Structure 1
């Protein structure tokens, strides 16, 4: 799903840059006199737009929920079961949109500060983009056979996958807190899967593979792009073209020409509005990371997940058992611990 990726298509909230990440010791112990008029930004420099948390958090939640439910609607209700094509369209739309924003606004100015050489592009951007593509495609395939609510419960396993891969690459050392988080989330997800009434092995394996790809992508970013700050739009600016090209290359072997013959089922309006909402999610994420504390953003993410599961039940009639509610509650507890401690 072009959830980019529910922020879950992009960088997780706990790893996004915050104001507290900026080194404020600019003087290095030296005394510097600054005149008031010198501290003001030049009149020709565009001012950075800041949206209050009370406004941007609901907007981000609405976009995130809408992307998932809208994609499920396209797959199921409009009978358009072509996740590779839809992901390719989303990435093509996003690649074009980020370049339009780069030329008309200052929202993608972060790309100017990054030194992406040809060698770095081949060794870092390309493999990370390939993992991103695999994550999106496999996650979308899961929506063909599994309910939105069940998939959202399985996504709670993402932190465990990240931790396990980090342990394997020795980026992090296991400790009692991390192992407790791994056990809590694993037990919770196992109970949620065991309690699923309409379990489909194909969709389950696709979602598990999507989680593995996404976790690998995030760890690769930490290893290969260490020290580089990429907000969701800058990240999309680099990865969207890679994903679009990779998907175009695999469409002939997965879906062929069938999606093009079935385009009349969705129509131009649905295609553009669907991709537009997915892109709007990334725009909202840019404003989101500059407001609120890590705890507020974590709680907002948990509330969003609960609302999404509720919305899927109301919109698609998904069934949720008491065992799943219990298991997911345990997973959420571990998820909150993971995000509020910064994954350490």
Structure 2
């Protein structure tokens, strides 16, 4: 890695020398990198596919062993990261991590245990709650991270952020009250998953960042996966081994389980590229969009019923989450920038764009009409206006 950096510095020096002699400088080919939208779409696809795939395996294929499924994901991730570390450069970031026996026992093991607990709880909840409602509850994750940070002394309490937290909590509470098929066990599992994940993130900030070390998601998985897999073997053995039926493996399908683990692993790879090719702001906005899309898609697939109160609660929580993640100034800047871009596209002459103005305006208008019709008809379908239960149906 150091040799590569020195080569790049040398090449940069040669390019600077060549700038003094432009007549001797050969023409440089245009760089052809992938558009950031590709990385955004990949992360959304693999993230939502992992969640929907897990739910489908548990509900539709009868593989009701969430701890075993999590264990299989981590065993696959352990093998895959070891292979990638020896055959690719995707895990070169681990060379910047000073991993000692003390650091491993002090940071990796406890953080890995929390990560394992978070994954188990996140998969267990699929036995009791719908994907749409799970995503609504996940809106409270920043609240748990903030409160844990306050308790740990990492964050300083402020009245403004506390009021923002109350808005998110109120929205999640409304969504929970409006849930038709509410399960207290499922709610507690999801709450446990959120709390464990919040503790893991704060511990990473305290222990690893304090040592000047940073890990991308794939490097983190390289270190955490073996610990989590070992932990989950004991959890799955104690909780699910007595009722485990080997016939359920064949029923779920060996190739299907392999594909499921591959999709879950690709999520981590997509996360690395998204972080590396975009910014934290883009990832925050992408995460919010991903959650909204997942709620809509999951409701369409499973015909989940959504009440008006639940829809209102999720809207309140989502608004609080956007404000918490971005802040008012950032929201205004993004809105202004988007409106300026949209207006420029709308009013630009046909000679400067690929489509004539009339066609462009027709597409925008048609898209807006389709979105409104789909939302209104989807939420009113099957129950009629004025009823308390609303359904989105494919």
TM bucket, shorter chain: 0.7 to 0.9
CA distance in 2 between partners of 1:282 and 1:205 (Å): 26
Shift of 1:334: 1.8
Structure 2 unaligned blocks of 5 or more: 1-11, 18-31, 328-394
Query: Highest CA radius of gyration, 1 or 2?
Result: 2
Over aligned residue pairs, what C-alpha RMSD do you find?
2.1
Match of 2:299 in 1: 313
Matched, 1:36 2:11: no
| Cα contact 1:156–1:189 (8 A) shared by 2 | yes
Matched, 1:328 2:311: no
Moved more, 121-130 or 180-189: 180-189
Which of 86, 96, 117 aligns to 2:100? It is: 117
CA deviation vs aligned residue, 1:62-92 (integer Å, no higher than 9, x gap): 1111100000000000011100100000001
CA distance in 2 between partners of 1:96 and 1:38 (Å): 44
Shift of 1:177: 2.5
Match of 2:372 in 1: none
Which of 171, 175, 181 aligns to 2:164? It is: 181
Shift of 1:126: 0.2
User: What is the TM-score of this pair, normalised by structure 2?
Assistant: 0.73
CA distance in 1 between partners of 2:91 and 2:123 (Å): 27
CA distance in 1 between partners of 2:235 and 2:43 (Å): 31
CA distance in 1 between partners of 2:91 and 2:150 (Å): 34
Match of 1:337 in 2: 323
| Cα contact 1:129–1:240 (8 A) shared by 2 | yes
| Cα contact 1:80–1:259 (8 A) shared by 2 | no
Shift of 1:94: 0.7
- The alpha-carbon distance between structure 1 residues 99 and 50, as it changes in their structure 2 partners (threshold 3 A), is farther
| Cα contact 1:82–1:259 (8 A) shared by 2 | no
Shift of 1:259: 5.1
| Cα contact 2:64–2:127 (8 A) shared by 1 | yes
CA distance in 1 between partners of 2:262 and 2:303 (Å): 26
Match of 2:348 in 1: none
Match of 1:260 in 2: 246
More helix by share: 2
| Cα contact 1:85–1:259 (8 A) shared by 2 | no
Shift of 1:38: 8.8
